[in-house]
Chains A and B, each alone.
Chain A
Amino acid sequence: SAVISQKPSRDICQRGTSLTIQCQVDSQVTMMFWYRQQPGQSLTLIATANQGSEATYESGFVIDKFPISRPNLTFSTLTVSNMSPEDSSIYLCSVDRTGGETQYFGPGTRLLVL
């Protein structure tokens, strides 16, 4: 497995502002992923963050709303831009160390937008 940390662990934000979430892994990984888990829901993939290239976004998610950085093989950030109450969710990063198989998750960032 991998040791994954996220910052912040939780935050309360005002609508219209932006929040950047950090994900740090204890070793180099090829792929990092960002998920959203809305209250009472399962996990939905937002995008895949690849080092050295643009992130790949899933249907329904756009770069202007969720810009992602992947500056190296152990770190990624997800920004939630121009937030609204509908963005209140748990945001999770995950990593894949075995080339497309098992993903391991960070502890999540709990976001509440007022």
Chain B
Amino acid sequence: GESVGLHLPTLSVQEGDNSIINCAYSNSASDYFIWYKQESGKGPQFIIDIRSNMDKRQGQRVTVLLNKTVKHLSLQIAATQPGDSAVYFCAETAGTYKYIFGTGTRLKVLA
């Protein structure tokens, strides 16, 4: 398949290590945030979300942290696996259907 995000910032992580992917969001009024994973040749896949009344939410091997003071969102992946290799996008919305997507980060998992 084609490569998504050929010119995106890249994070290289050793297999088994933890990954932290960061996102600076733009709208202080945003109240809902989502992380998506996009593998080559596929559409974005929902990973985890968080509302603005929370600062942390955990899923299976993933944790999202929200810092509203500095408008920063992060995705932590524990024990990174080769299958985690993809482009990761954050998205924000301020109570409407309109999502604003971040520029994306390519995660490369090294064996």
Q: How many residues of A contact B (CB 8 A)?
A: 26
Does any Cβ of A come within 8 Å of B95's Cβ? yes
A105 contacts across to B, CB distance below 8 A: 36, 43-45
Q: From known contacts A31-B97, A45-B99, A92-B44, infer whether A40 and B7 are also in contact, taking CB-CB under 8 Å.
A: yes
Q: How many A-B residue pairs have CB under 8 A?
A: 56
Instruction: Give 1 or 0 for each of B78-111: 1 = CB within 8 Å of chain A CB.
Output: 0000000000010001011111011110000000
- Chain B residue at minimum C-beta to C-beta distance from A48: B97
- Chain B residue at minimum C-beta to C-beta distance from A37: B4
Instruction: Give 1 or 0 for each of A26-68: 1 = CB within 8 Å of chain B CB.
Output: 0000010100010111111100100000000000000000000
Q: How far is the CA of A108 from the CA of B1 in the complex (A)?
A: 12
The distance from the CB of B9 to the nearest CB of chain A, in whole angstroms, is 12
- Chain B residue at minimum C-beta to C-beta distance from A93: B43
Contact assessment for B103 and A107 in the assembled complex, using a CB-CB cutoff below 8 Å: no
Q: From known contacts A31-B97, A48-B97, infer whether A42 and B43 are also in contact, taking CB-CB under 8 Å.
A: no
Contact assessment for A39 and B98 in the assembled complex, using a CB-CB cutoff below 8 Å: no
Does any Cβ of B come within 8 Å of A102's Cβ? yes
B61 contacts across to A, CB distance below 8 A: none
Q: From known contacts A42-B101, A42-B102, infer whether A92 and B43 are also in contact, taking CB-CB under 8 Å.
A: yes
The distance from the CB of A11 to the nearest CB of chain B, in whole angstroms, is 13
Does any Cβ of A come within 8 Å of B70's Cβ? no
A-binding residues in B (CB < 8 A): 2, 4-8, 32, 34, 36, 41-46, 49, 89, 93, 95-99, 101-104
